[in-house]
Amino acid sequence: MTDFLYGFVAIAIIARLISLAISKRNEARLRAAGAAEYDVATTRILTVAHIGFYAASVIEGINRAAPVGTLTYAGIAIWVVSIVMLAGVIATLRDLWTVKLFISPNHEIRTSILYKICKHPNYFLNIAPELIGFGLALQAWGTLIVGLPIYAAILWRRIRAEEAAMKATFPAY
Residue 32 has pLDDT above 90, yes or no: yes
* Average pLDDT of the segment spanning 116-121: 90
Domain locations in the chain as residue ranges: 3-169
Q: Which numeric CATH code is attached to 3-169?
A: 1.20.120
* Average pLDDT of the segment spanning 122-134: 97
pLDDT at 114: 86
pLDDT at 112: 86
Dihedral sign (CA 91, 96, 101, 103): negative
Residue 172 has pLDDT above 80, yes or no: no
pTM: predicted TM-score of the whole model, two decimal places? 0.92
Tens digits of per-residue pLDDT, 4-25?
999 999 999 999 999 999 999 9
pLDDT at 66: 85
Q: What span, in angstroms and rounded, lies between the C-alpha atoms of 131 and 53?
A: 8
Long-range contacts of 144-153 (CB under 8 A, 24+ apart): 147/49, 147/52, 147/53, 147/56, 147/57, 150/49, 151/49, 151/50, 151/53, 152/128
